[in-house]
């Protein structure tokens, strides 16, 4: 575990750069983490995904699978890849402040 200062807060991160305590997260942290991931700015559609990830994590103790994310969040696969290029589920989980979802490579 390592500590880093993000948006004026000292936060703990695991070895893969996922936040350890998801309750420390807020929109300013999301914006800073998104910038680190190469995203210019977050919009309402990004937050639909981030909020869905966080809600699922709070309810189930893990982030949703890619399939569930696209089926239940209201954000289709193509848009998800446009919002979070590369590995959208993993990248979005990191920005949402939740641990790496099970089954994520």
So which residues are the catalytic ones?
Answer: 104
Count of Cβ atoms closer than 10 Å to residue 14 Cβ: 12
Of 93, 94, 52, the closest CA to residue 70 belongs to 52
Cα(34)–Cα(43) distance, integer angstroms: 11
Rounded Cα–Cα distance for residues 60 and 73 (Å): 15
């Amino acid at each position: 575990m390592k500590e880093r200062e993000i948006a004026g807060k000292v936060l703990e991160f695991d070895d893969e750069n996922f936040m350890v305590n998801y309750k420390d997260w807020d929109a300013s942290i999301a914006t800073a983490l998104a910038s680190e991931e190469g995203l210019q700015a977050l919009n309402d559609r990004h937050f639909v995904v981030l909020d869905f990830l966080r809600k699922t994590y709070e309810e189930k103790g893990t982030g949703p699978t890619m399939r569930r994310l696209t089926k239940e969040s209201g954000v289709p696969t193509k848009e998800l890849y446009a919002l979070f290029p590369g590995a959208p589920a993993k990248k979005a989980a990191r920005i949402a402040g939740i641990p790496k979802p099970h089954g994520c490579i």
